[in-house]
Amino acid sequence: MDSENKTNENRKISLTSRMLSVIGQLKEEKKHSSVHTYTAALHSFTDYSGGKEAGMAVDLVFQPGRLKEYQDWLRQKESSWNTVSTYMRVLRAVYNRIFPPGTTGHNPKLFDGVYTKVEPKIKRALTENQMQTLSKADFDSLPEDMQHVLAWFLLMFMFRGMPFIDLAHLRKSDVKGNTIVYCRHKTGKQMVVSIPREAVKLFELFIDKSSGSPYLFPILNGKLKDEWQLYRCYQEALRNFNRKLEKIGKLLLPGVKISSYTARHTWATLAFYREVPVGIISKALGHSSIKVTETYLKPFENERVDAVNDELILSLMNNTKENIAS
């Protein structure tokens, strides 16, 4: 009976107030990425409803027809299917908090008519020649901010495909002689990376030489202490990094898209093509297991097989021509 009364009370709560409550809990748990996602989903649904339906009681919001209309609205706004899925999964998570599975009022098929899957993103890697083009670029011909961005991209590659989030959070105290000792932001796994000889010049030119920031590179605001503000600062830095990488791509590699993921995927792919054992690649990337690395490299397996097939056919055809000629 108490459970039924609680369910009836939850029905009277607006979607906005319920989501803000969840966002508050996520902030307390320091799940900043989830806070960002839930906030974006709330803003999106509020825009869709003109601010009206988000303030309605949740049992009026969570109707199959309304969810389908919201999905259609997102697609009309040219949102990707991954964005649709993200927002729908957020709404489903909130719905399950209000009406836990198995309780009165829960509809297990409510989200069956909308898209909640995840389309795998095809990660692009650069070729060896393209990486050489970037590494041999004339820095003096680039604006100063783009010089920093290109340097950080190259250092990410030389530091064994270091993710941008780890590069941004590196501290001056992480440098131990000619090595960098840090913990991966995603897994907490300790990493020890040597500074290659080829990276020393870039490293010395583009580190933060001021004494006011604890960070190794001038990417994050060293004065920020609040974790949420620091997360927001990182997100803005990431957006700027990707925007400028896109400009660098247009200047130096026309027609090739470059993003913050590219350095990491390029390092992994080139190592894979050079037949470096998957176990070594996994350790270098700081993955939690070899299975993660195998999933990471799976999109490139067909490319390597196709390359071997091309070589095999070329060799066969050349031998056939020689036999015909003789």
Where do the domains of the chain lie? 2-98, 131-264
Looking at residue 121, the DSSP 8-state letter turns out to be P
User: For the domain 131-264, what is the CATH code?
Assistant: 1.10.443
Q: Identify the pLDDT of residue 1.
A: 45
pLDDT of residue 291: 83
- The pLDDT assigned to 202 comes to 93
Predicted confidence at residue 51, as pLDDT, reads: 67
The Cα diameter of the chain in Å comes to: 93
Question: pLDDT for 16-54, tens place per residue?
Answer: 888 899 999 998 888 888 999 999 999 999 899 886 655
pLDDT value at residue 210: 85
pLDDT value for 233:
95
Asked if 87 contacts 44 with a C-beta cutoff of 8 angstroms, the reply is: yes
Nearest to 162 by CA among 174, 177, 146, 147: 174
pLDDT on residue 319: 64
- Low-confidence residues of the chain, pLDDT below 70? 1-12, 51-60, 119-123, 299-308, 319-326
Q: What's the predicted TM-score (pTM) here? A: 0.74
Give the whole-angstrom CA distance, residue 304 versus residue 161: 20
pLDDT digits (tens, 9 = 90+) for 242-253: 999 999 999 999
What pLDDT, on a 0 to 100 scale, did the predictor assign at position 252?
95
Q: What is the pLDDT of residue 225?
A: 87
